[in-house]
Structure 1
Amino acid sequence: MEDIKPIMFKVTVDGVEVEVAPGTTIMQAARKIGPEVAPPAMCYYEPLKGTGGKCRACLVKVAAGSAKDPRPMPKLVASCITPVQDGMIVENFTSPQVVEARKAVVEFLLLNHPLDCPVCDQAGECHLQDFSYENGVGTTRYEEERRTFEKEDIGPYIQLHMTRCVLCYRCVYTADQLTDGRVHGVMGRGDHAEISTYIGRAIDNDFSGNVIDVCPVGALTDKTYRFKNRVWFSKPVDAHCDCEKCSGNVQLWYRGDEVIRVTARKNEWGEVKEFICNACRFEKKKTSDWVIEGPSKVKRASVISANKYAGNLIKKPDFALKLAESQYKKIDDTRPFVSEMSEIKKSEDYKTLMQQNENYFKK
């Protein structure tokens, strides 16, 4: 019997070709290539069904619709909900139109978002920080007053800062798909839209804490962790335990010997791999409750990696090493350490430095 090969579509994203199955979205195809061509995402969350198409952060230009119909699409499209076609050519970072559109999206998201990163628990692992730094501009044209809301406790473990919310709907989909009875959602329309609970009901179920992990900003925060530590002063390690409700695979965040926070593990796109229960997240804050697997893998660009990990865990970029080797003088560590100023002044290096300074100021 002959093997029937599955039909595959060839898609080109920023000049890189990849083969994907029919039904794959542009976002998924780009992620298959890698982060160098993958569009950013604020509302799309692959583990949750139905997400995407709300924030417009992932807009791309389709320069050719397909091999059969190579005409370009007239407008930018949301890559997270647009399926690919065979022979499609997509421009992401290579399109000036897309770059300008992203700047506008960042500016729109920051219209009402407060600039309180120094006091926000999400600082250092905030998707909006990354998105605005990589795709935004340093100015704003907005002159009106920002809309503000009072902080609200929407459960025993969760506090809502609606002022920071970007209405990505991730928490709504999480509650809808992980629990039997969702009690919160988006109320109102337009500039009056907000995340809230029905008739003041509190979010209280075994998996409610996952809305904290999926939130891309600091709108939903862990009340047991609030203001305890900055993320770059803590060290994440992978751990697991035997749990009847969930997989028990988590990240423990240490400050010294103390477990200050427990979160679900995330993939390279910042999306939760396996959702965890509230017992693992909020009640097991001792090392003895867990089996430690080792340090978590952290991107070198992240502030979390600062001064914590060995070189074999966080690889330095080859370009930076080659640049440093070609432009900077190697240090001779065999030289004796001298701390006396009288001895330092006798050295040839000190005399050369003083002469260079003197020549510089003469100019």
Structure 2
Amino acid sequence: MDAPQLIKVTIDGREIQVPVGTTILEAARQIGPDVAPPAMCYYKPLKGSGGKCRACLVKVTQGSEKDPRPMPKLVASCITGVQDGMVVENFTNPDVVNARKGIVEFLLINHPLDCPVCDQAGECHLQDFAYENGLATTRYEEERRTFEREDIGDKIQLHMNRCILCYRCVYTANQITDQRVHGVMYRGDHAEISTYINKAIDNDFSGNVIDVCPVGALTDKTYRFKSRVWFSKPVDAHRDCDKCCGKVNLWYKGDEVIRVTARKNQWGEVEDFICNTCRFDKKNTSDWVIEGPTKVSRASVISANKYGKDVIKKTPYGLQHAALNFKQIDDAREYNKDLKEIAQSEDYKALMEKNEAYFSKK
């Protein structure tokens, strides 16, 4: 068999050779996460995914060696194939950075600010995308769309308020099950994920729609509110299963298995989908062969309970947010740590007299 033809592409100044037909996004992923564009709707194992969220927009500054003209607009890297000699700018292009801030703002237009109570917090791709690429402020003033929670299966709950219409769950049901009963209803700003005439999603692989959802729109009812993800400990495990690969992550809280999920790669994508028996019915350690702790990125909040604070990679978002919203503190100023001296100071006495006068009028 002949070796595939390789073509050259340069992304953010780094050159790589890839087979013909490779997309810009996949070429960037082969270089590494410091070059790869973010993606909210693209999911490599699902055919047809991508091209909807626009999170992966990049600037093609040279189309190819034969035609070096730049592409006039930003392009979606997940559906744009590379050409020989193509030059692409991602994080190094200010137009891309600004466009991505706008994409974050659009995705958050209707998304509720309920991260403190959302089960997806800590492993939410939208949360990561917003922190790393968005702004700390929003210009949106209109009323958000709201929906009632809906049970679309005995173990799956839909929170349409959080949905960003990435279509991943629809592609998953289309491609790994025989009876898809849910999809996108209506059009435009009325579009929503729902089931056909209130049917329930009921098949052996229905739980995979939970794993592919990048936000907290589709949740596992057996796991809801049991634990924060950073308080649980994931381990790799497997079992002999006649329906699926049987390779999973077990999430422990103490000695209890609180949930079972399919394994994901470094891009947060499931490569081997698992059945509902493994996901929902096998929650005893004795059901599994334990392989060892799951490898967790040290930049992830999940790692907070696994590594020392001196080795956890902290994201710059917190410092950026503080710089935009809070005044600088002058640490060189003089201050008094002695409470007795503070109580005897003229400023303190004046403050107490002012408070006493205020409350005496009440």
TM-score category of the 2 structures, normalised to the smaller one: 0.7 to 0.9
Q: Which runs of 5+ in 1 are unaligned?
A: 318-355, 359-363
CA contact (8 A) 2:60 2:74 kept: yes
How far apart are the structure 1 equivalents of 2:2 and 2:245?
Answer: 37
Structure 1 segments of 4+ aligned residues over 3 angstroms from their partners? 3-6, 314-317
Q: Which residue of 2 aligns with 1:229?
A: 227
Tell me by how many angstroms 1:315 deviates: 6.8
How far apart are the structure 2 equivalents of 1:279 and 1:5?
Answer: 41
Tell me by how many angstroms 1:6 deviates: 3.2
Paired positions, count: 317
Q: What amino acid is aligned across from residue 207 of structure 1 in structure 2? A: F
Q: Deviations over 1:23-71 (max 9, x none)?
A: 0000000000000000000000001000000000000000000000000
Q: Which residue of 2 aligns with 1:301?
A: 299
Q: Which residue of 2 aligns with 1:207?
A: 205
How far apart are the structure 2 equivalents of 1:108 and 1:164?
Answer: 13
Q: Which residue of 2 aligns with 1:348?
A: none
Q: Are 1:57 and 2:61 counterparts? A: no
Q: Which of 272, 278, 281 matches 2:279? A: 281
Tell me by how many angstroms 1:4 deviates: 5.4
How far apart are the structure 1 equivalents of 2:123 and 2:209?
Answer: 15
The aligned runs of 1:1-363 (5 Å cut-off) are 5-309=3-307
SS state at 1:111 partner: coil
How far apart are the structure 2 equivalents of 1:159 and 1:240?
Answer: 26
Q: What amino acid is aligned across from residue 256 of structure 2 in structure 1? A: E
Name which of structure 1's ranges 301-310 and 151-160 shifts more when overlaid on structure 2: 301-310
Q: Deviations over 1:139-175 (max 9, x none)?
A: 1111100000000000011000000000000000000
SS state at 1:268 partner: coil
TM-score, with length taken from structure 2: 0.85
SS state at 1:306 partner: helix
Identical-pair percentage? 79
Q: Deviations over 1:99-146 (max 9, x none)?
A: 000000000000000000000000000000000000000111111000
Tell me by how many angstroms 1:357 deviates: 8.4
CA RMSD of aligned residues (A): 1.8
Tell me by how many angstroms 1:310 deviates: 8.0
Q: CA 1:4–1:226 in structure 2 vs 1: closer, same or farther (change >3 Å)?
A: closer
Q: Which runs of 5+ in 2 are unaligned?
A: 314-333, 337-362
CA contact (8 A) 2:236 2:249 kept: yes
How far apart are the structure 2 equivalents of 1:101 and 1:35?
Answer: 19
How far apart are the structure 2 equivalents of 1:199 and 1:4?
Answer: 52
Tell me by how many angstroms 1:306 deviates: 1.4
Tell me by how many angstroms 1:308 deviates: 2.1
Tell me by how many angstroms 1:309 deviates: 4.7
Tell me by how many angstroms 1:192 deviates: 0.2
How far apart are the structure 1 equivalents of 2:100 and 2:55?
Answer: 6
CA contact (8 A) 2:230 2:305 kept: no
How far apart are the structure 1 equivalents of 2:210 and 2:24?
Answer: 27
How far apart are the structure 1 equivalents of 2:262 and 2:148?
Answer: 28
Q: Deviations over 1:173-216 (max 9, x none)?
A: 00000000110000000110000001111000000000000000
Tell me by how many angstroms 1:234 deviates: 0.3
How far apart are the structure 1 equivalents of 2:183 and 2:74?
Answer: 29
SS state at 1:253 partner: strand
SS state at 2:99 partner: helix
Q: Which residue of 1 aligns with 2:330?
A: none
Tell me by how many angstroms 1:7 deviates: 1.6
CA contact (8 A) 2:299 2:312 kept: no
Tell me by how many angstroms 1:307 deviates: 3.2
How far apart are the structure 2 equivalents of 1:105 and 1:255?
Answer: 36
